[in-house]
Structure 1
Amino acid sequence: MTENGLAEPKVRQQAFYRSLGGGRFESSSATGGRWSAKAQHAGPPSALLGRALEGHEAREGFRVARVTLELPRPIPVGELHVEVRTLRSGGRTELIEGRLTSDGNTVMLGRAWRVAISPADTPQLRPEPGPPPLPQPQAPHTMAGAHVDGYIAAVEWRFESGKGFDTPGPGMAWARQRIPLVAGEPDTPLTRARTLADSSWAVAFELDHFRQLVINTDITLALHREPVGERFCIRSSTASSPAGSGLALGQLDDTTGDCGRILQTLLVAGR
């Protein structure tokens, strides 16, 4: 039960993944996405690849400033293999590349810029207003036509009062994953942020995804400082044009304020 006496959703798994060693991971049913229990929501694999990019030949005094992930095909709920390599390493910047494969097929590609941390006298430019207060605990949220027993149930969602996934955007939600990314391993604020980033456009559903096919092809998370804690607020809106595509832009806050932006390209097509 929550502190308000609301029933917690049943999360049957203890983690999104279990390490099998050698860069291989077994996916749990908690990774199941909105539209199918057999295909993963992009949040957990984003975090899994982000975890590998963050830890690859880590250097003191450097931080991951931006991660862009490409989604060339659906990611099945099954065994995944993670590979990472350094493309360029300099005195102040590094470009790192990684991919996830399933049965030999590339299902996610990623690149991250790791940069030297800025000096202490760097000005704080254009600080955004702080996030809205954390709403009280809420009953489990639903989404019309969606599979909700995987990823959606594995994350705690707190929308503005009276709103949810089926409320037309722009939107705002505080979110926190209920289970760790990898069983037996601690999460980092960056992996927690990556787990949630792919949900930005869903927090702000503004295109009719029943009348048209609406799918994001990528996820970019750019952070101007290190995120902290385990709760994040996503405030998102969508732009679109005829004979064009969609673009979802989200502001990411932690409990201390603005820490970055989320950008997603949206394919919009007829059904």
Structure 2
Amino acid sequence: MRTDMQGFEGCYRRIDRQQDAQDHVSEVFVPSAAAIGPWSDELQHGGPVGALLTRSMRQLPHGAPGRIARTTVEILGPIAMAPIEVTARVVRPGRKIELLSAVAHQVSESGTRPVAQATAWWLRSDESVEVMHSPEPALAPPTDEELERGELGVPASWRRGFVGSLRWAVRTPIGRIDGPAIAWASMPYPLVEGEIGDDLERCVAIADAANGVGSRLNPRDWVFMNTELTVHLAQPPVGEWTGMVAESWIGGDAVGMSSAVLSDLTGPVGRVAQSLLLERL
């Protein structure tokens, strides 16, 4: 755990929570230095914000035992290093399938504005071990050598804020151009101070770093900002570690996409995709 988190452990501290008669939940969170993004010390990283929206949807009351199978996070504008209010609700209730939504707001001089929103599909869970199948090969866990090198495989300009708060094991060079990049990252602290921490939230937060892991561009020359994040999970993630086999697809009009296969230490769990906006520095 890094020591630069403004005096508390986690990306956020919750300072208020309210729930109305319709089970609409509203919470206010203060970010720590572990929520800072890679492009500016004044802006939050999209990963922790997406995880916070996912957390709020996961904690809604549900009609049956199940889990979030897909979550999509949309970044609506710059998210300042200031408190955010997150509200969540069940859009489409059901016994087997539910559609959930969450929105994050910030207060500015011009009023309250939405800065991020998310939707998720909650699916009823049951037993299907006898037909389990993954089209992706298992990813070897981090080695002792990779763990010793740690964040040295991460570009120096990114070794701060959220990315710098993670524990890294980079297997192939970030920015390589001859194939996908492979890295493991661990979030060994809770998203919200005082909570045990949820494996889904950790996975979503780390998955947002896929565009960085799979980058084919030098961050000293280019900004490649993702506008959204979509995570499909065929298997619920387990543990602090998330592995990524990530690659970027760069178009000729300064637009691209990033995708990655996500794994935990037990095997592949799903995929992530992001749209990219490219700008030359």
TM-score by length of 2: 0.85
Give the conservation status (yes or no) of the 8 Å contact 1:212–1:270.
yes
Question: Per-residue deviation at 1:120?
Answer: 2.4
- In structure 2, which of residues 50, 53, 68 is the aligned counterpart of residue 49 of structure 1? 53
Aligned to 1:16: 11
Q: CA deviation at 1:90?
A: 2.1
Q: Deviations over 1:63-113 (max 9, x none)?
A: 100000001112111101010111111232111111111112111110000
Please give the residue correspondences for 1:152-231 in structure 2 after superposition, counting only pairs within 5 Å.
Answer: 152-160=163-171, 163-165=172-174, 167=176, 170-231=180-241
Deviation (angstroms), 1:55: 0.7
Number of the residue aligned with 1:236: 246
CA drift of 1:212 comes to 4.0
Where does residue 24 of structure 2 map in the other structure?
A: none
Q: 1:117 is matched with which residue: 122, 125, 138?
A: 125
CA deviations over 1:216-267 (Å, ceiling 9, x no partner): 1100011012111111111101112223721111100001101110110111
Partner of 2:34: 30
Contact 2:175 2:214 in 1 (8 A): no
SS in structure 1 of the partner of residue 86 of structure 2: strand
**Bigger shift: residues 227-236 or 239-248:** 239-248
Partner of 1:99: 103
Match of 1:148 in 2: 159
The count of residues paired between Structure 1 and Structure 2 equals 262
Structure 1 distance, partners of 2:156, 2:149, is 18
Q: Could you tell me how far apart the structure 2 residues matched to 1:246 and 1:166 are? A: 15
Matched, 1:63 2:67: yes
Structure-1-length-normalised TM-score: 0.88
The range that moved more, 195-204 or 133-142, is 133-142
Runs of 4+ in 1 over 6 A off after TM superposition: none
The CA distance in 1 between the partners of 2:136 and 2:155, in whole Å, is 33
Paired amino acid for 1:155: L
Shift of 1:178: 3.2
What is the percentage of aligned positions where both structures have the same residue?
Answer: 27
For 1:86, the equivalent position in structure 2 comes to: 90
Secondary structure of 1:14's match? coil
CA deviation map 1:142-186 (0-9, x unaligned): 6557253311221001011xx554555621111111322111111
* Cα RMSD (Å): 2.2
Please state how far the C-alpha of 1:198 moved relative to its aligned partner.
0.5
Matched-pair contact (CA < 8 Å) for 1:174–1:233: yes
Q: Check conservation: 1:87, 1:96, Cα contact below 8 A.
A: yes
CA contact (8 A) 2:31 2:83 kept: yes
SS at match of 1:73: coil
Residues 11, 149 of structure 1: 8 Å contact kept: no
Change (3 A) 1:159 1:223: same
| Deviations, residues 111-151 of structure 1 (Å, cap 9, x unaligned) | 00001125426622344211023122234526557253311
The Cα shift of 1:206 comes to 1.1
Q: 1:40-66: CA deviations, max 9, x gaps?
A: 111111111110011111343221000
Unaligned 5+ segments in structure 2 are: 18-26
SS of 2:157's partner is: coil
CA 1:117–1:159: 2 relative to 1, 3 Å? same
Task: Give the aligned residue type for 1:195.
Answer: A
Q: Work out the CA distance in 2 between the residues paired with 1:170 and 1:87.
A: 37
The letter of the residue matching 1:35 is W
Q: Which amino acid aligns with 2:168?
A: W
